[in-house]
Amino acid sequence: MTSNNPSVFLLMVNGQIEAADFPEYDDLYCKYCFVYGHDWAPTSGLEEGISQITSKGRGSQSLVWNFPLDITFKSTNPFGWPQIVVSVYGPDTFGNDVVRGYGAVHIPFTPGKHTKTIPMFVPESTSRLQKFTSWLMGRLPEFTDPKVVAQGEGREVTRVRSQGFVTLQFNIVTKDMKKLGYETTSEHSAATGLTRTSQQL
Amino acid sequence: MSSPSDVREKIRKKRRELQESLGRVRDDKQALVPSDWDLSKENEHTAVEELPGGEEDPGETLRRSVMAKRMKKKKKLLKEMAVESPPDEEEVTAVQEMREEQDRGDDVESPPARSPRDLPPRPVIRPGSSQSETTMRLRMTEKLRAAKSKAASLLQQESIIEPTSRLQSLRDRDTLTRFDRNTDPDLQANEDSSFAARLKFRDAARHAAKDKRAEAGLPTAEEAYNFFTFNFDPEPQQQQRYKKKHSRRREAEEEGEGESGEEDEEKEEEEGEEEGELEREHEGEEESEARDEDASLVRDDEEDLFIIDQSAQDFLEVRRAEYIGYSRRLQRERETLFVPSMRPVPASSKLPENVRPRYLEEEGLYVGERPPVCLTNQNILENRILKQAEGRKWFGDDGRIIALPDPIKESSSRPPLFQLEDELDPALQTVYRKALKTKHVNLYIAGMGNPQADYQLDVDVSGLIFSHHPLFSREHVLAARLAQLYDQHLTRQHKNLTGLLTDKLNSLRNTIHNMLELHRGEALSQVAQQRIAEYKQEVRHTRQLRDVEQEKDRALLKTIIRVWKELKALRDFQRFTNTPFKLFMRREKVDREQDEQEFENDIIAEVSELQAEAEEDYQRKMSEYRRQHEEWKSWKRKQKALKKKQKKKIQQEEEEENEESEEELGEEPDKSEPPEKPDMGDLEEQVQEKAARIRRKPGEPVLIPELTLSGPVTPNEQCPRAEFSRREDVAKRSLFIKVLYNDKEVSRTDSRNLNMDFRVHFGQIFNLKIVNWPESIKLQVFESVGSSSSLLAEVCVPVPESSVLTGSALFEEMEFSSNQRVTFNHEGVGSGVPFSFEADGTNTQTLLTSGKLSCCVSWAVGEDDIPLAPPSSQPGGGMYSGLRQMDAIACIGASGLNDMKKLGKWAAESRLDPNDPSNVSIMQLLSVVSGGDVAVPEYFRLEQLQEEFNFQTDEELHRSRRFRLLRLRSQEVPEFRHFKCVPSMERDISEKVFQDYEKRLKEGEVIDTKEHIDAHRALVAKYLQRVRESVINRFLIAKHHFILSDVVSEDEVPSIGVLGWNLFKLAEPKRPLKPRRKERKKVTAQNLSDGDIKLLVNIIRGYDIPVRRPYASKPPASAKSGRSFTEPFTAPVSSQTPQQGSEWPFGQPLIRPFVEVSFQRSVLQTSTAEGPNPCWNEEIVLPFSAPNGDYSSTILQSVKDEVFINIFDEVLYDVVEDERERGNTIHTRIERHWLGSIKIPFSTIYLQSRIDGTFKVSTPPVLLGYNKERSLGSEGGYDAVRSLSEGTFLSLFITIEPQLVPGDTIREKFDSQESERLLIASEVFEKEASRRFPDRPCLTTVIDINGKTVFITRFIRPLNPPQELLDAFPNGPQETTELVARYVSLVPSLPDSVSFAGVCDLWSTCDQFLTLLAGDEEEHAVLLCNYFLSMGKRAWLIIGIAIPEGPTAYVLTYEQNRYLIWNPSTGQHYGQYDTFCPLQTIGCLINSDNVWFNIQPYAAPVRMIFDVSKPNLWKPFFSRSFPDPGLSSVQPEGLVYRHTDRAAAVELQDRIEKVLREKIMEWRPRHPTRWNRYCISTLRQFLPKLELSGGREVAEEHRLELQSLLGEYRISGFPLHLPFSEIRPIIEAVHSTGVHMVEAPNVEFALAVYVHPYPGNVLSVWVYIASLVSAH
């Protein structure tokens, strides 16, 4: 498929959901899914996944999943660039599985290795009584659809509380972006890199 | 490694040497620190970036170019430097490196960077540095050289041109470069003197430095300064060898700080400094003086300043502690330290010599407000600054420290937020209030800031006189008039215009006379003549004026006398007096002789003047005449000459010629008549006559009227009753005056009684202290009778000029009037009403209340005789002038801002300070406007820069297929809503993509008339389409509104009740005896695909299925006798039943019915059962597929498919031809005959999730070959009516597997015109209802077709049904009722959920419904209810649940003590106790007044009581606590019905028939379709009868008729009856009967269509379809 006039460009993402930092919680697992626009289609790889449950190490505070991501998208239009939505779950004091955080981030645009840290958040209960009962029943409020966090629509009705971080690593490869007229790397940045080195000398 | 002290020693030595060498070179350098900075920065910049000159700032390049020219001159100097420095440098480097090694040993990780302070400022270059560095160095030095040469050259120039330039001002000095002074020794001296203070200080420092050598004292400012300002000239040639480690800036500095070098000639001092320097380094301290430079030196990130700390110990020396005596220390400190004085600095020391302070503000320049600083602090600061080098540049021209305007706002612009917790106290919640514009808020008087300025307006209301008042009696009216006339007379008298004019006239005459006398006999000069003429003119004019005045005087006098006479007459007539007016005529005797003489003289003079004038006039006219006459004559002459010529030519020439030439002469001038000579005798007569008219006759006494108030007024007792009551009334009245300032009431007078003379005296003065600009001052006159008062009139008083002061101001009489109409039944004449003085009522007058208010408004005078008036505003400026100057927008208005001319004018007028920063934008704007011809656009743009930001032009955007596609997708146009992967390239998109969409758009415009058959429907469909689109658009918007439950799923807080119930549930039996249907898990529609959804139809059993009628060749004996309307079925059936048994073919059962269910073209059927009451109990599973595989709830909701449940009779025919084979072969043909059907729309099933019940099968009115099984007996009264509803029934259970979640209806709150209170009440009502009875629908507000919330009772209003329907049965009210119901049912039904997918239930009003001819059950019900109401019935709308419709609306009527329930969509009606009534639950009843919610224990109609007056059974919406606010109806006044065109109906009928015939043939592709024409014609005749009877009466008769005609055929067929909406449902219905499926070889078909038009385009369609099989 090495035509000179490509009609789609490809975005290959691999990487991993490395670790999370949830100071208060332990034994968490995460789910991920991708949210992308109409003009995007995954060509290979898993669109959704669920990780193992991981516990904190003795000394460390971070929860390590090292959960691999590997997906390739094709697209005709950068509009609706894919986002990864990560949601973290874990048991509460009563052993009920509750949500511990939602977060989303765009897949990086530029080829290369990127490390992203997403702040996570959970929806808040509507009232104190709700908060108490939901804690008691082990049914904390959740988003009806975790993909909500990748959209702006409807967010105005929610209130959330931030809760921990998840670190992701992406390795991005793109194909034919430039041929279709989309530049994600600028020569400028390369040039400034050079001058910086010269300055260091 | 040498000891630190050694090192130090060495450094010191080297340095000294260097100093000396450099000092000579550099002493000429000027040490202006800031400019040095600039240069050093520039140098650094160029060196680091290796930039060519082109990238430097223009100033630098310029300098460079100059440099290049002067290079040579400087070269020599440079060489000198180069020779001198190398050895020093080497040594220093050695030391440096050594130390570096130490550093590295201490901390390996830290870069070998170094603070510029750790050693003498010396660039150190490590050996072996890269080539690039050396080149940089080179460039640097080159630059340096260039700079020097340039400086030198500049200085040379300067020294010649202006040797004292630097004395002029500090600013000037700044502009000069430091190089200016290079070769200026004489100037240098001056320079030094200016730095005298500093030098002194330095000396002190020097002494201190000496002592400091041994001890670790603090370095002084001086030291620090010197340290950084030392001149260590970098030697370009040698520096190549060194590492570039320090910033290059350093060198630049060094070279700049030449002056310090010059001063530091003493080695001692130098050493001391060095010492101090090093000491300081060890301690890591910083000195304030050095700080400036320090900060910037540290800028380079690579340089680590603090690295020195780690190496500090190496330099430490351990010594014994030294003691310094206190006094000595004090002394030393005094020498070292400087304590700035707190005394103010004399201005002279702050300014350069011989310069006077210059105050910019006085020069009219804008000077911002300085930040407030405590005076002592300021003094300290000034003193300190002055001690510094270059201290003076901190001072401005006015001798004050230069300061920027205060940028700090007085108050914080944003108040602190107290919201620490997430919960905010509701009391602190922000409440949105619409901004209100106060009119006067900004109109404060300018200068109100100072508290002394208080302004006071004095309003003096003195009194009031009525010139007319409604309580005036006739006499009063006359008296008022008399008084008025008398007033007029007095004023005229006072002015004495007549006298004046007469005098003037006389004097003029005298003048003329004198002039003529003077020039007697002599010829008058030109000037004199002219003057006389002018005088004469004047005389004439004055005379005329005098005559007019005289006439007026006389007329006035006459009128006064007449009115007085009238008054007297009136007093006589009414025999009492009301007014004290009395008129006396004073006669003044005149000397008759003299009078006559004067009169005569006057007349003579006038006559003579007139004569002269007339003569003059005559002369003028005469001359005019003569001129004209001359003209005429000359013309005549010419003509004659011409004629002569013509006569000569007459032989040769024709007449045309003649005419032409004649025309050349032009028009003939008028031959004017000579003017007549004026008749002098006439003139005299005229004058005499006039004089008699307007003048007092000679000798007649002069009459002077005098009005007095001395007349007696008849006391009350003697007055007649009417007058008495009038006076009483007057006494009751009182008046007061309100004073309004800027439309606000500020004060009011006391109330004063109205006197008999209608004068009111107030005499009150109000002092108004004002804050706002006076805009208006009004006085309102109020009249009060008893406690009520009414506004009589309003008087606006002009705001006085500021010169109008109390005391000097005059009273003004303000006239006022009011146009109130007042009448009385007593003597008062009233006002605004005509009245008459005459007995016969003629000569009526209408007078309005009017009067004069005398008042005075003036500015008060303060105690010290200062007027309390605001500063005088501009005379023309009005009251806003103060404001106008301050605010441009207030002055010219917001729109004016675009009008540059206005703005400019305003700016000029208000004398804007061009330097005020707040005016910058305006000034800029103005400069643009006035400077160039910048065309100011004549339009206004909201987004002026929009064009620049446009991605592409609109046309391009539109043309591009890709963009169009993207746009349509984002607009969620249905065709493109889920379009995936829009190609990235234009060329990849085919035009075809848009085909469907464009087609649809086009269709929207042009409705296919073939599809819709008649034009009206087409229009309606179009309208409906448009409504649908707009509603859907609203819906799309609403869909993007989320509520919390859409986004977050959260458990409800369980209530105590639920918890308790849950506990109770634990004790429930595990396997109950009577299990209930449990709620199945609902499936969200998203994750479904084709084949997942199944429709389950459970057919349980049937009742009363028609049975076959034996095939009889002869008509039955019974006739249609005594059959009444009420018993259509029972009678014939009873007559038939006995025969049945005998006539049936042997062995054949009564009927073999089976049920066929068809849905989405998949057809399944049950097994065949037997008998009229079969029991199948079979489950049929039908697959369901959503359109386009889209299972979203909106799509599912809009699925229009219907489930058809048909009952067929399976008939077996023996087709064995050969009788012999009958024994062993069974050869039968199965035929199925359609008996009836049930249609259930999918949307109903979807929304209800399950349908369970017994349904009436809609059977055709006539089923050929079938009989209704005898039904249960029905007897008496309305039971008969009920029996009508009986027919065939089927028990069904339908559901969808898995259960789908029906889409929620929109929760968006639609806007409404209802009052907020009503909406809240209805919300509460509905909530309460659903809480108590969740399964009973309650409806109080609905959404109308415009998307507005409307209260439901507004829909109910009596409306007239078509008159034709009422006339149809003049004496059968019941028939009429049924006909009306039938009419309503004929309007096609179109569920809202289908047309407005997922949106909501829209209610249309009856006229909209009838125009659209499509609507939901609610519309039908509302229309029917309204019809019933207009027919005088008691009717209610029922909101309830019925099968199969689900939540629906029915109509309840009350007649003959029975409640009837009407199904508006079918026209059927049921009694309250009808078991088969489809209405299952009644939620509420509605009529035009109220809504009642059912709070009875049962909701089924059978078990209910319909008496809404019982509040324990029916909860009313409007109750005593919330009464009906009187809602007007949204329905029209009445309905207008269009008479339906019968011809159009016939045409439609033909077309339907044609279409159906084609369809039937199409459905029978393998068999020929024959049509039996005879049968068709019979059927066609029969259909109208069916329509007339409503499909009942004629059935049997018809059957017989048919049989007699077509005896040899076996006929099976039936008429179908449908309301007409489109042709498609008709085809569907015909198809579903399956008549076409008869496959007998000799079958024939008959099809007849009849369309019956009803008013308002409602059409009833009958389709008769039959199959005929020949019996032979």
Each residue's pLDDT tens digit, B462-475: 888 888 888 787 77
Which of A132, A118, A58 has its CA nearest to residue A88?
A118
Out of B983, B1042, B1043, name the one closest to residue A7 (CB): B983
Q: What is the mean pLDDT of residues B1087-1110?
A: 77
Tell whether the model's pLDDT for residue B1012 goes beyond 70.
no
Please report, rounded to a whole number, the percentage of residues in chain B having pLDDT higher than 70.
59
Residue B122: its pLDDT value, please?
A: 47
Distance from CA of B130 to the nearest CA of A (A): 10
Q: What is the mean pLDDT of residues B308-321?
A: 66
DSSP bridge pairs for A34: A84
Which of B255, B71, B257 has its CA nearest to residue B149?
B71
Residue B1328: its pLDDT value, please?
A: 86
Tell whether the model's pLDDT for residue A65 goes beyond 90.
yes
Residue B656: its pLDDT value, please?
A: 46
**CB-CB neighbors (< 8 A) of A153 in chain B:** 1040, 1042
B1493 near B1325, Cβ under 8 Å?
yes
Q: What is the mean pLDDT of residues B764-786?
A: 80
Residue B1595: its pLDDT value, please?
A: 61
Each residue's pLDDT tens digit, B905-931: 666 666 666 666 566 556 655 655 554
Is residue A198 domain-resident?
A: no
The reply to whether residue A8 touches residue B984, judged by beta carbons under 8 angstroms, is: yes
Confidence band, pLDDT 50/70/90 cuts, at residue A12: very high
Out of B980, B985, B1040, name the one closest to residue A153 (CB): B1040
Residue A117: its pLDDT value, please?
A: 94
How many structural domains is chain A composed of?
1
B130 interfaces chain A, CB cutoff of 8 Å? yes
The reply to whether residue B988 touches residue A126, judged by beta carbons under 8 angstroms, is: no
The reply to whether residue A133 touches residue B1054, judged by beta carbons under 8 angstroms, is: yes
Confidence band, pLDDT 50/70/90 cuts, at residue B148: low
Each residue's pLDDT tens digit, B873-906: 443 333 333 333 444 444 444 444 445 556 666 6
Q: B601 exposed, middle or buried (CB, 10 Å; 0-12, 13-18, 19+)?
A: exposed
Confidence band, pLDDT 50/70/90 cuts, at residue B233: low
Least confident segment among B671-680, B1350-1359, B1572-1581, B1608-1617: B671-680
The reply to whether residue A144 touches residue B1046, judged by beta carbons under 8 angstroms, is: yes
Each residue's pLDDT tens digit, B1419-1473: 888 888 888 888 888 888 888 888 777 778 888 888 888 888 888 888 888 888 8
pTM above 0.90, yes or no: no
Distance from CA of A150 to the nearest CA of B (A): 12
Tell whether the model's pLDDT for residue B3 goes beyond 80.
no
Tell whether the model's pLDDT for residue B1029 goes beyond 90.
no
Q: A179 exposed, middle or buried (CB, 10 Å; 0-12, 13-18, 19+)?
A: middle
Q: Token digits for B1420?
A: 């039908």
Confidence band, pLDDT 50/70/90 cuts, at residue B1046: confident
Each residue's pLDDT tens digit, B1376-1388: 888 888 888 888 7
Residue A16: its pLDDT value, please?
A: 93
Confidence band, pLDDT 50/70/90 cuts, at residue B11: low
Residue A3: its pLDDT value, please?
A: 57
B777 near B459, Cβ under 8 Å?
yes
A196 to chain B: nearest residue by CA? B49
The reply to whether residue B1047 touches residue A155, judged by beta carbons under 8 angstroms, is: yes
Which of B984, B993, B1036 should one mutate to test binding to chain A, selecting the residue with the greatest count of A CBs within 10 A? B984
Is residue A43 domain-resident?
A: yes
Tell whether the model's pLDDT for residue B1011 goes beyond 60.
no
Q: What is the mean pLDDT of residues B771-786?
A: 79
Each residue's pLDDT tens digit, B569-589: 888 887 777 777 777 777 777
The reply to whether residue B1050 touches residue A157, judged by beta carbons under 8 angstroms, is: no
Each residue's pLDDT tens digit, B1605-1646: 666 777 777 788 888 877 777 888 888 777 777 777 778 888
Gap between the Cα atoms of A30 and A166, Å rounded: 10
Is residue A194 domain-resident?
A: no
Mark residue B1499 as left, alpha or beta (left: phi above 0; alpha: psi -120 to 50; beta: remaining).
alpha
Domain CATH for A148: 2.60.40.150
**Strand pairing report for B1288-1297 and B1514-1516:** unpaired
Size of interface A-B (CB pairs under 8 A): 86
The reply to whether residue B1047 touches residue A158, judged by beta carbons under 8 angstroms, is: yes
Residue B71: its pLDDT value, please?
A: 57
The reply to whether residue A144 touches residue B988, judged by beta carbons under 8 angstroms, is: no
**CB-CB neighbors (< 8 A) of B973 in chain A:** none
Q: B1335 or A106: which carries more pLDDT confidence?
A: A106
Mean pLDDT of chain A: 85
The reply to whether residue B1042 touches residue A139, judged by beta carbons under 8 angstroms, is: no
Mark residue A139 as left, alpha or beta (left: phi above 0; alpha: psi -120 to 50; beta: remaining).
beta
Positions of E strands within B675-776 = 702-708, 733-741, 744-748, 752-753, 759-770
DSSP conformation class of B1085? S
Is residue A188 domain-resident?
A: no
Which helix (H) or strand (E) covers residue B1023, if one does? helix B1015-1039
Tell whether the model's pLDDT for residue A123 goes beyond 60.
yes
Distance from CA of A197 to the nearest CA of B (A): 12
**CB-CB neighbors (< 8 A) of A48 in chain B:** none
Q: What is the mean pLDDT of residues B662-691?
A: 63
Residue B586: its pLDDT value, please?
A: 78
Is residue A67 domain-resident?
A: yes
Mean pLDDT of chain B: 69
Q: What is the mean pLDDT of residues B1397-1421?
A: 74
Residue A104: its pLDDT value, please?
A: 94
Q: B316 or B178: which carries more pLDDT confidence?
A: B316
Q: Which of B220-234, B1062-1076, B1275-1289, B1343-1357 has the highest mean pLDDT?
A: B1343-1357
Distance from CA of A184 to the nearest CA of B (A): 16
Confidence band, pLDDT 50/70/90 cuts, at residue B941: low
Out of A76, A129, A199, name the one closest to residue B1053 (CB): A129
Which helix (H) or strand (E) covers residue B1492, if one does? strand B1491-1494
Gap between the Cα atoms of B997 and B975, Å rounded: 7
B129 to chain A: nearest residue by CA? A201
Confidence band, pLDDT 50/70/90 cuts, at residue B1279: very low
DSSP bridge pairs for B857: B459
Out of B422, B979, B1043, name the one closest to residue A157 (CB): B1043
List, as ranges, residues 309-338 from B with C-beta within 8 Å of A.
Answer: none
Each residue's pLDDT tens digit, A137-180: 888 888 888 888 998 888 888 889 998 999 999 999 998 888 88
Tell whether the model's pLDDT for residue B100 goes beyond 70.
no
Is residue A191 domain-resident?
A: no
Tell whether the model's pLDDT for residue B777 goes beyond 60.
yes
The reply to whether residue A129 touches residue B1054, judged by beta carbons under 8 angstroms, is: no
Least confident segment among B273-282, B352-361, B1072-1081, B1243-1252: B273-282
Is residue A173 domain-resident?
A: yes
B1042 interfaces chain A, CB cutoff of 8 Å? yes
The reply to whether residue B982 touches residue A156, judged by beta carbons under 8 angstroms, is: no
Please report, rounded to a whole number, the percentage of residues in chain B having pLDDT higher than 90.
0
The reply to whether residue A125 touches residue B1053, judged by beta carbons under 8 angstroms, is: no
The reply to whether residue A39 touches residue B1048, judged by beta carbons under 8 angstroms, is: no
Confidence band, pLDDT 50/70/90 cuts, at residue B1401: low
Spatial strand order of the sheet with B1349-1351 comes to B1349-1351, B1341-1344, B1402-1403
Gap between the Cα atoms of B1494 and B1505, Å rounded: 10
DSSP conformation class of B719? S
The reply to whether residue A153 touches residue B1042, judged by beta carbons under 8 angstroms, is: yes
Tell whether the model's pLDDT for residue A28 goes beyond 80.
yes
The reply to whether residue A38 touches residue B980, judged by beta carbons under 8 angstroms, is: yes
Tell whether the model's pLDDT for residue A108 goes beyond 90.
yes
Gap between the Cα atoms of A169 and A16, Å rounded: 5
Which of A7, A122, A124 should one mutate to test binding to chain B, selecting the residue with the greatest count of B CBs within 10 A? A7
A200 to chain B: nearest residue by CA? B302
The reply to whether residue A39 touches residue B1053, judged by beta carbons under 8 angstroms, is: no
**CB-CB neighbors (< 8 A) of A155 in chain B:** 1047
The reply to whether residue B48 touches residue A199, judged by beta carbons under 8 angstroms, is: yes
Tell whether the model's pLDDT for residue B266 goes beyond 60.
no
Which of A10, A39, A92, A153 should one mutate to test binding to chain B, selecting the residue with the greatest count of B CBs within 10 A? A39
Is residue A200 domain-resident?
A: no
The reply to whether residue A7 touches residue B984, judged by beta carbons under 8 angstroms, is: yes
Domain span at residue A86 reads: 9-180
Q: Token digits for B697?
A: 């006759």
The reply to whether residue A201 touches residue B130, judged by beta carbons under 8 angstroms, is: yes
B119 near B11, Cβ under 8 Å?
yes
Residues B1039, B1044, B1047, B1051, Cα dihedral to 10°:
-140
B951 interfaces chain A, CB cutoff of 8 Å? no
**CB-CB neighbors (< 8 A) of B112 in chain A:** none
The reply to whether residue B48 touches residue A130, judged by beta carbons under 8 angstroms, is: no
B424 interfaces chain A, CB cutoff of 8 Å? no
Residue A148: its pLDDT value, please?
A: 87
Tell whether the model's pLDDT for residue B261 goes beyond 70.
no
Residue A102: its pLDDT value, please?
A: 94
Gap between the Cα atoms of B1663 and B1615, Å rounded: 5
Residue B220: its pLDDT value, please?
A: 60
Q: Which residues of A touch B (CB under 8 A)?
A: 5, 7-9, 38-41, 75-77, 79, 123, 125-127, 129-130, 133-134, 137, 139, 141-144, 148, 153-159, 180, 199, 201
